Structure 1
Amino acid sequence: MKSVRVVVVGAGVIGFSTAVCIAEALPFCSVTLLAEKFSPDTTSDGAAGILFAAEFPDIPMERQKRWFKYSFNHLLAIAQSKHSPEAGVMLTSGWQIFRDIPADKKPFWSEFVIGFRVMTDSELKRFPDHTFGQAFTTIKCECSSYLPWLEKSFRKAGGQVEQRKLDSLEELINSYDIIVNCSGLGSKTLVGDNKVYPVRGQVLKVEAPWLKHFIRDGDGKTYIYPGIHSVTVGGTRQEGDWRLQADEGDTKGILERCSELELSISKAKVLSEWVGLRPSRRNPRVEKELVWLQGRRMPVVHNYGHGGWGVTLAWGTALEALGLVRQCLHETPLQANL
């Protein structure tokens, strides 16, 4: 009989990564993943899913490095395995280019990606409006394949899945011993976190099988990411914008900007448009707290607020969340159930 009941709230890349880590590492726990929306209807499903990172202002660099390194190594192992096609995880090479020389020419994640180097002058000639660039090989993780693959891994480890809308954590107190909150933007209402806000992202999938290398403008607003079945082009970063419908003006702007970086994009057939709201926060929240729910102290582990870096940091923060769940098991009277 599995004696400790853990519920993970949220079925995006953060929720499923965390649920898999817990179910595989703690076989004496019964783990349920609960969410209103599952793939293909999560924010993660439309993510470009390419691995590099931004710096968060208030999180120690060693911790950010650990998140990135663990995530990269986890996905690299999948990319180099027989699971790669089913999981939607592949290696990808290309360029990040800048109009002005960036303050940080060698970002912290450069030591973990493969073959990171500064672009040569002859390589930069292709991008006449840009003065500096970085070339490297990283990973592209397509969540429309990766999330169903993670769900399979989760079920194989004994995990249960439940689809329903949760209005309050209090609904969980009689059924579970530990709550793991991976509800992303939902944390605004679910745990009353006013520091989490949407950053609207619109992307297009286009048919351009001749494109083999990614190109990303350093400002993060224009990018071309070849994937397994199509090429993702984008994008937008509209803070505080809750609109979920595609905007014609944004589509036109994306195609114009991407065609400036790669002329042949103008010949690509648009397959689909997609909009998602990145669950952004000044810093991701990966921590535990004891919450009073109906007169009872309930351990809650939070793992949300990754913004546009969810795929990049998912496995690293999931492992940290697993560590926090372990701490909850040691610190609370749950120990009596074991």
Structure 2
Amino acid sequence: MHFLQVTPIKISQHLAVTIIMSPRVCVLGAGIIGLSCAVRLQEVLGHRCLITVVADKFGKETTSAIAAGCFRPQDAAPVSGYTGRRSAVGKDIVLLSYNQYTSILHSEEAEEAGVHKLTGYHIRYPLVGKEPFYATFLEKCRKLSESEILSVFPSLPHGCSGHLLTTLVVSPNKYMPWLAKRFISNCGKSIKRRVESFCEMWDEYDIIVNCTGLSAGQLTGDPSIVPSRGQVMRVDNSSGKHTFAYIDNGTERMPYYIWTPDYTVIGGTKLIGCTDSRVSKMTMTL
């Protein structure tokens, strides 16, 4: 759950000139979205402006640091409590993101950035007739028959659907430091600070980009911006298969595992509206 928002700015001739010549840009949030946005702004605007990342948490303190990192966009969330559907603009953003990660994959920095390909399964039940959005752009994606699914996952009930697909995995333990390194090398500035309101920033910056994730709804006062909390485990992958599997079953308990070169991620849960980032023993029993 991430979005961009530019603060209201009083229009004046002086400020208009300031924004064009040398805008002061603040990116709120230092997770994957915040750092990616900051680096992209540096690439587009160059030295025409100073980019500052402001956040109360950086690096391993962020929720991005423990994300599974498997690129698997959905048309809509499969659990109750969320009613939004991916808009045309949202789909454009997904495609832009996929192309960006693909360009990193084919670069000399792929290993350092932690971007790699992985083939695995996405299974859904009850049966879903509509093809998932990712089937329209992934390089390899094949619909599976029910017999194929049950041969791999014999404990699943009848009436399921799924795909075998090759997608991208972005390991945050490598990708986050890689982004931070690029941001700093391009003269980026970071400030550790908790922001309670946009009003605190209006005199300091001309443009504010909101990438605060869990706090976005509270910061904007918009109840339609709802977080989704997950909890995962990282385990040794020395004996694990080089694959992934997602089981979307329409509940808050969504089993999956994702192999990476450094560890295997096992999950997971999807608690809509929960902002608590502490490890929950109750969640571990789900």
Report the TM-score when normalising by structure 1: 0.68
Q: 1:6 corresponds to which residue?
A: 25
- In the alignment, the residues of structure 1 paired with residue 175 and residue 114 of structure 2 have an alpha-carbon distance, to the nearest angstrom, of 5
- In the alignment, the residues of structure 2 paired with residue 166 and residue 63 of structure 1 have an alpha-carbon distance, to the nearest angstrom, of 28
Aligned-partner SS, 1:161:
strand
Aligned pair 1:99/2:125, yes or no? yes
Aligned pair 1:34/2:54, yes or no? yes
Report the TM-score when normalising by structure 2: 0.80
Q: Structure 1: any 5+ residue segments left out of the alignment? A: 254-338
> In the TM superposition, what are the counterparts of 1:55-134 in structure 2 within 5 Å?
55-56=75-76, 61-104=87-130, 106-120=131-145, 121-122=147-148, 124-128=150-154, 129-130=156-157, 131-134=160-163
- In the alignment, the residues of structure 2 paired with residue 65 and residue 188 of structure 1 have an alpha-carbon distance, to the nearest angstrom, of 22
Alpha-carbon spacing, 1:244–1:181, altered in 2? closer, same or farther (3 Å): closer
Q: How many angstroms does 1:190 deviate by?
A: 2.4
**Deviation >6 Å, runs of 4+:** none
In the TM superposition, what whole-angstrom CA distance separates every residue of 1:274-302 from its partner, at most 9, and x where no partner exists?
Answer: xxxxxxxxxxxxxxxxxxxxxxxxxxxxx
Aligned-partner SS, 1:188:
helix
Q: Structure 2: any 5+ residue segments left out of the alignment? A: 1-17, 77-82
Q: Which amino acid aligns with 1:250?
A: T
Residue correspondences, number: 252
Please tell me whether the aligned partners of residues 72 and 112 of structure 1 are also in contact (alpha carbons under 8 angstroms).
Answer: no
Aligned pair 1:247/2:277, yes or no? no
Report sequence identity in percent.
32
- In the alignment, the residues of structure 2 paired with residue 184 and residue 118 of structure 1 have an alpha-carbon distance, to the nearest angstrom, of 33
Structure that is richer in strand per residue: 1
Aligned pair 1:44/2:64, yes or no? yes
RMSD: 2.2
- In the alignment, the residues of structure 2 paired with residue 185 and residue 60 of structure 1 have an alpha-carbon distance, to the nearest angstrom, of 19
The answer to which of 123-132 and 52-61 deviates more is 52-61
Please tell me whether the aligned partners of residues 23 and 31 of structure 1 are also in contact (alpha carbons under 8 angstroms).
Answer: yes
Alpha-carbon spacing, 1:228–1:29, altered in 2? closer, same or farther (3 Å): same
> In the TM superposition, what are the counterparts of 1:184-223 in structure 2 within 5 Å?
184-209=213-238, 210-219=240-249, 221-223=254-256
Q: 1:139 corresponds to which residue?
A: 168
Aligned pair 1:173/2:202, yes or no? yes
Alpha-carbon spacing, 1:67–1:242, altered in 2? closer, same or farther (3 Å): closer
In the TM superposition, what whole-angstrom CA distance separates every residue of 1:111-130 from its partner, at most 9, and x where no partner exists?
Answer: 22221001253454121225
Please tell me whether the aligned partners of residues 121 and 163 of structure 2 are also in contact (alpha carbons under 8 angstroms).
Answer: yes
Q: 1:150 corresponds to which residue?
A: 179
Q: How many angstroms does 1:157 deviate by?
A: 2.7
